[in-house]
């Protein structure tokens, strides 16, 4: 009972960080100043900002769903969970920066570097997710509820292990073609949002 309240506090704090990071993204989109001769084409020229915004929005949203799912299993939090979660949130709060860099440089000279920074950030976050989850699983008799679902835990482990790989693939792809990497990012966001297996089922048994 007391323990549950404790992870509730961690979740509430984390939820706050996710909600703020996802909402701050919009501040990085430049507002064309008053007096811009052709506003419509100026707004259209800023398409990289919108693309970067939408992808980051859904990536953070998906991370929030995953974080949430993680803590449906983790019932107790020791100091290591607390610190690893903080490290994970460090990654999440940093997302607006590579997003803004990508928005500024997509289509320009620096687009390769910007794309690598962008996917590098998600790669690091995905690794942090795995570290937090692996640690929790390693102490599952201590940190999970009594009747945790071993099969569900295994499934999450397998799925989370994919995360760093797909972001690494996007990062490597950027080296050859920024466009290909960008399309792969968009495909990923759509894939993550589509229904089955790979997404959380809130209020259902996760089978």
Nearer to a second copy, 42 or 177 (CB): 42
**Using the rule CB under 8 A, is 109 a contact of a second copy?**
yes
Quick one: tokens of 140? 């599952």
Nearer to a second copy, 100 or 137 (CB): 100
Quick one: tokens of 57? 């929005």
Find all residues with CB under 8 Å of 132, minimum gap 6, and list them: 70, 81, 84, 85, 87, 88
Options 52, 59, 65, 172; binder of a second copy; rule CB under 8 A: 65
Burial track 181-192 (b if 16+ CB lie within 10 A, e otherwise)? bbebbeebbeeb
Nearest approach in angstroms of CB 183 to a second copy is: 20
| Span of 26-34, 124-132, 157-165, 172-180 interacting with a second copy by CB under 8 A | 26-34
Q: Residue 77: name the closest of 135, 145, 6 by CA.
A: 6
**Using the rule CB under 8 A, is 169 a contact of a second copy?**
no
In the window 73-102, what residues touch a second copy (CB under 8 A)? 76-83, 86, 89-90, 93-97, 100-101
Nearest approach in angstroms of CB 159 to a second copy is: 14
Cα–Cα–Cα angle for 161, 162, 165, rounded to 5 degrees: 105
């Amino acid at each position: 009972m007391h323990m549950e309240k404790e992870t509730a506090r961690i979740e509430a704090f984390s939820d706050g960080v996710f909600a703020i990071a996802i909402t701050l993204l919009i501040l990085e989109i430049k507002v064309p100043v008053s007096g811009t001769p052709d506003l419509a084409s100026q707004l259209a020229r800023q398409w990289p900002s919108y693309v970067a915004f939408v992808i980051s929005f859904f990536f953070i949203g998906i991370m929030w769903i995953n974080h949430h799912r993680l803590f449906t299993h983790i019932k107790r939090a020791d100091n290591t969970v607390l610190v690893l979660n903080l490290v994970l949130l460090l990654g999440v709060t940093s997302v607006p920066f590579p997003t803004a860099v990508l928005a500024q440089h997509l289509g320009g000279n620096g687009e390769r570097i910007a794309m690598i920074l962008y996917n590098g950030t998600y790669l690091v976050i995905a690794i942090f997710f795995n570290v937090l989850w692996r640690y929790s699983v390693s102490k599952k008799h201590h940190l999970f509820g009594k009747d945790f679902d071993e099969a569900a835990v295994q499934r999450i482990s397998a799925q989370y292990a994919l995360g760093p790989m797909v972001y690494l693939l996007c990062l490597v792809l950027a080296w050859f073609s920024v466009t290909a990497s960008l399309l792969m990012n968009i495909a990923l966001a759509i894939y993550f949002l589509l229904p089955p297996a790979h997404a959380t089922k809130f209020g259902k048994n996760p089978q």
